[in-house]
Structure 1
């Protein structure tokens, strides 16, 4: 069945500035609006626009509302006040995501996060465990691995080449230097080296699916296997053959099929 999808832009107030977001939902009576919406958490250089057509395809495939937002400092959201603290993942779950839940009056949600957004999704599932219906991580890191650091060092060197910052400026404007530093300098800092996904999680009471690309340049398949072992009501691990770090661009059909199957019985 082909659903007609509506799109709406959002502005969410927080004490530190506004967050920009979008929502995609089936047109009137076309989908099951009683099911929990899927909230997307973007990666370290990401924003709503960089999800491209994935939110609409996800809405179409699952029949669920999909919500994506730019974290403070990213995309069209307001600038972040100062440097990104090393506890930024837990901060997102306890503060900024809470403002989104309240502003949109969301009682139950499905958390889906890409890369560091996967760790944020997992932390939100823990902090808001009574409200999270399901958790999906995509290419998420569970700890600071040498492979992760090498991938970041390579990307940092590439952004030092002439014209490369223009790629970020297209989406983040004059916040781009902050966005790049928030990623590279945080993860490469020795004081961040002992971070683990477990450090911000108390308990997860929903089903969990950890998806990872076979050739992910920012983390081995140890990450999804470790995430799938988090204390949850059933954890699954899926490795997408031949895929690198961005399955929603490289293997969208495989990703959509996996997510749709996983959420078939979730409310």
Structure 2
């Protein structure tokens, strides 16, 4: 396994990128990981390496601007931040990395971003969403409120500082302030998902504390191409960590059946 780390410069700052390349590559199309609201490249932990080894494909992950090892942002994102990642930031990152065709693997809000990217780019050959939101539920709001209270209690912000350094409070507010705002309450994937033509696999934990199975059902049902649903029992919001082997196997089978078979 070969790993490479680099920074790429975009108009608003520098983006940290890491790539995993297995010893034997049987498929050159990279799988690009998009992290969750509190996530980073390092918080994927060993999953990218395991995914790359099992699928014999390169895997790429990057820290969005304001997260992890990427440059900080002064202002909080707008309520259009999901679409902005798809339309403004991702295309530049893709171009800087000299990527044409690719597969997206997005966790939580990274899954929602993956759907929006696929709706805009015909070179996206497939999407795997994991615990992705499709709209805003009461369960989503309740879960975020509990998380906000947890991190605002004494000493808990240090858990985020380990991964985001001095950007930790910004990362927390970029999640909680936006999602709990009244302006964001009407957000959904409705406008973009119908434009997705590539195959989509929606994976969701049955006990996800931030959203019901209505999310993956919506994604699988409303995509403009092949839509597949997989609900994992005894699993919460982190399927790729809680049941990584199952998630990797689901991903591998889906890619082989619906993406590589059509090449």
- The normalised TM-score by structure 2 is 0.96
**Cα-to-partner distance string for 1:72-121 (whole Å, 9 max, x where unaligned):** 00000001241210101111111111111101111101011000000001
What aligned pairs does 1:1-267 form with structure 2 within 5 A after superposition? 5-27=1-23, 30-34=24-28, 36-128=29-121, 130-201=122-193, 203-265=195-257, 266-267=259-260
- Contact 1:142 / 1:196 at 8 angstroms: preserved in 2? yes
Residues 237, 89 of structure 1: alpha-carbon distance in 2 compared, 3 angstrom cutoff: same
**In structure 1, C-alpha distance between the alignment counterparts of 2:74 and 2:195, rounded to whole Å:** 30
Gap runs ≥5 in structure 1: none
Aligned-pair CA distance for 1:33: 4.2
Distance of 2:226 and 2:151 partners within structure 1 = 40
SS at match of 2:106: strand
Q: Deviations over 1:241-263 (max 9, x none)?
A: 10000011100111011001001
CA separation in 2, counterparts of 1:187 and 1:177? 15
Deviation of residue 230 (structure 1)? 2.2
Displacement of 1:232 in angstroms is 2.6
Shift of 1:201: 4.2
| TM-score, normalisation: structure 1 | 0.95
Shift in Å at residue 231 of structure 1? Answer: 2.8
Secondary structure in 2 aligned to 1:229? helix
Name the count of aligned residue pairs: 259
After superposing on structure 2, the runs of 4+ consecutive aligned residues of structure 1 that deviate more than 4 Å are none
**SS of alignment partner, residue 86 of structure 1:** coil
Tell me the SS of whatever aligns to 1:144.
coil
For residues 130-180 of structure 1, the C-alpha deviation after alignment (integer angstroms, 9 at most, x for no partner) is 101111100000000000000000000111211100000001011111100
Query: Which runs of 5 or more residues in structure 2 are unaligned?
Result: none
Distance 1:70 1:184 in 2: 19
Any conservation in 1 of the 2:194–2:222 contact (CA below 8 Å)? no
